Amino acid sequence: MDLKETSREKLGKIGKNPSFFASVKHALDGIGIILKEEKNMRSHALFGLIPLLLAWFFGSSPMEWIVIIFCIFLVIIMEFLNTIFENVVDLVTDYEYHPLAKKAKDIAAGAVLVTAFFAILIAAIIFLPKFLELYYKLI
């Protein structure tokens, strides 16, 4: 049996999604899994509400809304990718320590951290002037 036969045999067991709706169901299952199993994802989702509330409170411009929403989704997407990397590394290493596995996981986690810092920087650029303006109005 050659490699192509093995691959077809495995694909037959896995199967393709029979419809668009089946694909959406699997995608929603993935979102549910990451929200249920990953504490950091729940934290990112909750912290993502803060700039949305601030944008509403300060009456942010449409462009500010776009940038804020983009940053929130960028952090969430990076957390998805980090979780994917962690799961694939664990699968390949069978949960055994390997220096390259640690390196891959650390780099993926670093990507999330850099993205979160980027989002915080953007939030500071947008909201700090608004906070200062509010502060000076109140004093």
Q: Tell me: is residue 96 an annotated ligand-binding position.
A: yes
Q: Tell me: is residue 97 an annotated ligand-binding position.
A: yes
- Cα–Cα dist 129/135, whole Å: 10
Cβ atoms within 10 Å, residue 103: 11
Q: Tell me: is residue 64 an annotated ligand-binding position.
A: no
Residue 79 designated active-site: yes
- Cα–Cα dist 13/8, whole Å: 9
Catalytic residue among 5, 64, 79, 133: 79
Q: Tell me: is residue 106 an annotated ligand-binding position.
A: yes
- Cα–Cα dist 37/60, whole Å: 34
Q: Quick one: how far is CA 83 from the chain centroid?
A: 8
Which string of DSSP letters, residue by residue, matches 61-122?
Answer: -HHHHHHHHHHHHHHHHHHHHHHHHHHHHHHHHTT---HHHHHHHHHHHHHHHHHHHHHHHH
Annotated binding-site residues for a divalent metal cation read: 38, 86
As annotated, the active-site residues are: 79
Q: Please enumerate, by residue number, every residue annotated as part of a binding site.
A: 38, 79, 86, 96-98, 105-106
Annotated binding site for substrate: 79
